[in-house]
Structure 1
């Protein structure tokens, strides 16, 4: 059993770490507004939709399995895990060279070979592209235009601390289902899939419906249910919509609605307060007489 078993997930002796990526749908706001959702004792932390890793950096688990279907995300995390100092130096170089021409040269040039260079490239593009959006064309090439932000090196950067945290984590480029199927009793699984529901009250945009369809949502709910039945603790975030509630059902899960401000919009006028759904597995009842 991991040393984290039976211990509080909040480590008071650890400095706060700010996620180094800005990711659409990221959960910085959720851990800041509702940290109680993640105050769950666990043996291992599992996150199959890693993105910026806001919840991972908030919890600071002693043992973690982190995954994402996006190879660029996993490469960035691996680059910092293994070559934090090199990534820092490369970002400083990007910072000094940043301009319109340099951005498009980096974006359109072939992807570099070294792990550190690949990580630094993604972080640079993420920090200077429009709204921190990740989008690729049909050839799989990043094609987001330049944004207004010019700071490549941030005061909150602490890649040494990030690297230290990631030494306790296994990183995988993988579909979510196989990762969830590894969850066992005592594990905490956080699921933050792309939202594929759009309706008048919620307004979430279907960013990548071709990559994450309604069939994927159904597959996710079934995998989460199986993991909950094995005794894993499940926390899911999704669009606040009746179809999502029906997908999970009230037998194994309970539901909580939270509000957030969504900045992903072309104009400030169209940015509104949105509701999101938090789906939490109910504690599994042990058979009578068991210890």
Structure 2
């Protein structure tokens, strides 16, 4: 089920992503299901849980079309992607960054290279778009950004070769996951715990309280079919209440927060891991 590989060749996220789960996986391990055949991740983001589990069959989705295009290019055209990233690396400076940031033309592979280049060189690796859907993060302060990590991309490509990857709303998982052979991991945009933590610019669509409730209802429907479900979210009264309503187990996870406009709200905080398996 889980492939054991050496540390040097273990697949891991090739993108920096706000809210990425790489540092939390050790706390998640006790709650992962012991067995399943099909893995689903409807809010793909950086894909840390997928890369850790390395399932033999997976459907990976996200509403972010640019992100999904990038994953498909890493899976299907990794050598072409590496060549383009090397070119970006050779030309990187402040003026070049902003010229790339403002250029939305190009083929799918060029757009994938653009996203990775901007992700590796922008401030804090933060994916944010404005109301027109345009990426607007300023240049980060890096002495030598790792724009083209060839081995990381090739190992990720191999891991993704077993996955179906597509743009989709999270509710589409209801069309696929039907039994106890299925495991769904949800990592949605978090419900805000303060006014300054309301990060909604991941895509042009805000993830509202109604969306959180629709996600809860989706989880309840999946669980009624016997599907194994895990959800992570903020430790807020609203999130605790809506999942209590469907009798899911709730566990506190310690997480380090580094992105907040108020420096006092950075540091170690509680998040929730919510599961039908308890």
What TM-score results when the alignment is normalised by the length of structure 1? Answer: 0.87
Q: After superposition, where does 1:1-291 map in structure 2 within 5 Å?
A: 9-13=1-5, 15-113=9-107, 115-149=108-142, 150-153=144-147, 157-185=151-179, 186-199=181-194, 205-208=197-200, 211-249=206-244, 251-265=246-260, 270-282=265-277
Unaligned runs of 5+ in 1: 1-8, 284-291
Q: Which structure carries more relative contact order (alpha carbon 8 Å, separation 6+)?
A: 2
Q: Deviation digits for residues 19-60 of structure 1, max 9, x if unmatched?
A: 001111111111144333335311100000000100000000
User: Residue by residue, what CA displacement relative to the aligned partner does 1:97-118 show, whole Å, maximum 9, x if unpaired?
Assistant: 11000000000013312x2211
Structure number, greater radius of gyration: 1
Contact 2:81 2:109 in 1 (8 A): yes
Q: Cα distance, 1:119 vs. partner?
A: 1.0
Distance 1:58 1:142, change over 3 A: same
**SS at structure 1 position matched to 2:271:** strand
Superposition RMSD in Å: 2.0
- Residues in 1 aligned to 2:264 and 2:212: alpha-carbon distance in whole angstroms: 31
Q: 1:53-76 CA distances to partner (integer Å, 9 max, x unpaired)?
A: 000000001000000000011011
- Report the Cα offset of residue 161 of structure 1: 2.0
1:86 CA drift (Å)? 0.7
Specify whether residues 179 and 106 from structure 1 end up closer, same or farther in structure 2 by C-alpha distance, changes over 3 A only.
same
Q: Counting helix residues as a fraction of each chain, which structure ranks higher?
A: 2
In the superposition, relative to structure 1, how do residues 251 and 135 fare at CA in structure 2: closer, same or farther (>3 Å)?
closer
Q: Matched residue pairs, number? A: 271
Give the direction of change, closer, same or farther, for the CA distance of 1:33–1:251 in structure 2 (3 Å limit): closer
CA drift at 1:198: 1.6
Residue deviations 1:132-152, cap 9 Å, x none? 111112221111111112413
- Contact 2:59–2:165 (CA under 8 A) maintained in structure 1: yes
Judge conservation of contact 2:220–2:246 (CA < 8 Å) in 1.
no
Instruction: For 1:238 and 1:267, locate their aligned partners in 2 and report how far apart those are by CA, in whole Å.
Output: 20
